[in-house]
């Protein structure tokens, strides 16, 4: 017997028992009760095609049976032990990660969330360099803990006013009025200035290779190579936050590969577990050697999470998901670009790569662009498509679907988006 309470009751309970910070995308959020690959269903059985994947999480599809069968088998065999004992799934996972990690990165520390992975990466950088400071990009997002919030540039996610003050933000390599190359030059100039002033006090620079919540910001091709060169001159480590971009979504295993740069530390979470909590930060032998004082995570690398992540990595490889993401992503991007041509005042920019794409609506400074974005989201939801939104102005439609979607799904979504934009644009004229 299914006992599903209605969405009004769920929304009321949420309002009563959760903290008021729970942000809502939708005026009328759907209540989701079941998922299957790229589809998800509400309490009335209405089907949605998921173009958000819970912010890049269920990359292999909702409740993918190839993965959940391995999760369930592990759950029934051995669920949890302390890290003082030996278990096989987590060492197998570390070994599998070594195969896909770039350069000399080969050691992993397992934790449970993106915030925790970045927190660990930042700690590791301090331990290794003996320095305290960090550099981060404005409009980056790295987590909810004190230190990860301190390196988060996006104002809306900086909840605490007592943040670590030893963080210097530099301009992001994007500006609506500049070319990507010009914006990269501005950002690099400011990085160089900071390094010359206090490079010897900086442990690391933390970056998302493509900013997710910042609005799908993909820098110019040479940007991170030049960042790396500058950091190397001052012995500053590069932390690559691949939490939202990682494991095939952008057409590469890690998005930093698009820039031809090998970072010192990579943090991973989200899609690594396809919905099961598993996260990690990985580094080289040399840097890992600096984390030599006792440190352990109760749930980090537990058998169930580790077995799931192994199944995820197998699935990504076996189904060639990076290639699939690249192909479907360029199809989707072309579709979005032709909508931009059709509605130039509405879609002002299309950004990103693979299945990590953004369409900026009406320009970030335009009045009402966030409201317009909300209206589009709501209308798309009614038509059976869940998409995301992000950006400094909350006016970027975010497309980051499970990598198992099909070109028919993409075409269907584009048709619906065309209808919605047409409707909104005629409403605007009236
Ligand atoms: N880094 C990035 C790039 C993210 O997108 C997020 C989550 N949106 C985090 C870190 C934090 O991850 P978590 O919510 O799992 O702590």
24, pLDDT greater than 80: no
Residue 244 Cβ < 6 Å to ligand 1: yes
Give the number of other Cβ atoms within 10 Å of residue 298's Cβ: 10
- 93 and 156 part of one domain: yes
Residue 300 Cβ < 6 Å to ligand 1: no
- 362 and 303 part of one domain: no
Beta bridge partners of 265: 239, 283
Q: Are 270 and 308 in contact (CB under 8 A)?
A: no
Across the range 143-148, mean pLDDT stands at 97
Residue 144 Cβ < 6 Å to ligand 1: yes
Q: How far is CA 254 from CA 100, 208, 260, in A?
A: 9, 11, 11
74, pLDDT greater than 60: yes
pLDDT of 33: 95
Residue 118 Cβ < 6 Å to ligand 1: yes
363, pLDDT greater than 80: no
Residue of 55, 59, 214, 269 best suited for mutating to test ligand 1, as the one with most atoms within 8 Å of CB: 269
Confidence class for position 3, pLDDT limits 50, 70, 90? low
Residue 142 Cβ < 6 Å to ligand 1: yes
Domains contained in the chain, number? 2
Containing domain of residue 351, as a range? 7-60+320-429
Of 241, 316, 305, residue with least CA distance to 275 = 305
Ligand 1 atom nearest to CA at 213: 5
Q: Is residue 2 part of a domain?
A: no
Of 63, 202, 26, 208, residue with least CA distance to 128 = 202
- 54 and 106 part of one domain: no
Q: Are 114 and 125 in contact (CB under 8 A)?
A: no
Residue of 113, 114, 151, 280 best suited for mutating to test ligand 1, as the one with most atoms within 8 Å of CB: 114
Q: Is residue 240 part of a domain?
A: yes
- 25 and 85 part of one domain: no
State in Å: Cα 27 to ligand 1 middle: 24
Ligand 1 atom 13 nearest Cα: 114
Query: Which DSSP symbol is given to 389?
Result: E
Max Cα distance, the chain (Å):
68
State in Å: Cα 114 to ligand 1 middle: 5
- 213 and 310 part of one domain: yes
CA distance 349 to 305: 38
Across the range 154-161, mean pLDDT stands at 94
- 288 and 164 part of one domain: yes
Residue 114 Cβ < 6 Å to ligand 1: yes
Across the range 221-228, mean pLDDT stands at 98
Q: What is the pLDDT of residues 318-349, one digit of tens each?
A: 999 999 999 999 999 999 999 999 999 899 99
Residue 35 has which token pair? 């998922």
Give the number of other Cβ atoms within 10 Å of residue 171's Cβ: 18
The number of CA neighbours under 13 Å toward the Cβ of 192 is 10
Q: What is the pLDDT of residues 108-127, one digit of tens each?
A: 999 999 999 999 999 999 99
1, pLDDT greater than 70: no
- 223 and 114 part of one domain: yes
Of 286, 290, 271, residue with least CA distance to 402 = 271
- The torsion of the CA quartet 88, 93, 94, 98, rounded to 10 degrees, works out to 140
Residue 329 Cβ < 6 Å to ligand 1: no
Across the range 130-159, mean pLDDT stands at 97
Final residue before a domain boundary, out of 318, 340, 363: 318
CA distance 199 to 384: 50
Query: Which DSSP symbol is given to 264?
Result: S
Give the number of other Cβ atoms within 10 Å of residue 177's Cβ: 6
- 227 and 146 part of one domain: yes
Residue 113 Cβ < 6 Å to ligand 1: yes
Final residue before a domain boundary, out of 301, 318, 335: 318
Q: What is the pLDDT of residues 176-215, one digit of tens each?
A: 999 999 999 999 999 999 999 999 999 999 999 999 999 9
Q: Is the dihedral of CA 90, 55, 283, 66 positive or negative?
A: positive
- 56 and 76 part of one domain: no
Q: What is the ipTM of this complex?
A: 0.99
Q: Are 100 and 253 in contact (CB under 8 A)?
A: yes
Q: Are 75 and 304 in contact (CB under 8 A)?
A: yes
């Amino acid at each position: 017997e299914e006992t599903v309470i209605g969405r009004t009751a769920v929304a009321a309970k949420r309002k009563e028992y959760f903290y008021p910070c729970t942000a809502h995308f939708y005026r009328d959020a759907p209540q989701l009760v079941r998922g299957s690959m790229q589809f998800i269903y509400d309490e009335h059985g209405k089907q949605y095609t998921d173009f958000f994947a819970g912010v890049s999480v269920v990359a292999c599809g909702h409740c993918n049976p190839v993965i959940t069968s391995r999760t369930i088998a592990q759950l029934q065999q051995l669920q949890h032990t302390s890290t003082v004992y030996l278990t096989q799934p987590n060492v197998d996972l570390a070994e599998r990660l070594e195969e896909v990690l770039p350069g000399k990165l080969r050691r992993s520390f397992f934790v449970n969330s993106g915030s925790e992975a970045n927190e660990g990466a930042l700690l590791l950088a301090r331990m290794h360099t003996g320095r305290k400071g960090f550099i981060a990009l404005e409009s980056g997002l790295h987590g909810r803990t004190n230190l990860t919030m301190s390196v988060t540039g996006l104002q809306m996610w900086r909840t605490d006013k007592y943040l670590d003050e030893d963080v210097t933000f530099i301009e992001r390599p994007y500006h609506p009025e500049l070319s990507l190359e010009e914006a990269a030059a501005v950002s690099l100039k400011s990085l160089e200035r900071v390094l010359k002033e206090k490079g010897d006090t900086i442990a690391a620079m933390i970056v998302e290779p493509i900013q997710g919540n910042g609005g799908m910001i993909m820098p110019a091709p040479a940007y991170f190579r030049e960042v790396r060169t500058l950091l190397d001159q001052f012995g500053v480590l590069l932390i690559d936050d691949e939490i939202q971009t990682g494991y095939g979504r952008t057409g590469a295993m890690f998005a930093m590969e698009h820039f031809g740069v090998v970072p010192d530390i990579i943090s991973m979470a989200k899609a690594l577990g396809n919905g099961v909590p598993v996260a990690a930060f990985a580094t080289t032998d040399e840097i890992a050697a600096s984390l030599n004082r006792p440190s352990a995570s109760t749930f980090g690398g537990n058998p169930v999470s580790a077995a799931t992540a192994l199944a995820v990595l197998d699935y990504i490889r076996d189904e060639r998901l990076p290639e699939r993401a690249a192909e479907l992503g360029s199809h989707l991007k072309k579709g979005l670009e032709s909508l931009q041509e059709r509605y130039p005042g509405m879609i002002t920019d299309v950004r990103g790569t693979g299945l990590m794409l953004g369409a900026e609506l009406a320009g970030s400074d335009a009045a009402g662009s966030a409201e317009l974005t909300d209206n589009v989201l709501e209308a798309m939801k009614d038509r059976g498509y869940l998409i995301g939104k992000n950006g400094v102005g909350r006016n970027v439609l975010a497309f980051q679907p499970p990598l198992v979607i099909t070109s028919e799904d993409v075409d269907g979504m584009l048709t619906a988006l065309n209808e919605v934009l047409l409707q909104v644009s005629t409403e605007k004229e009236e």
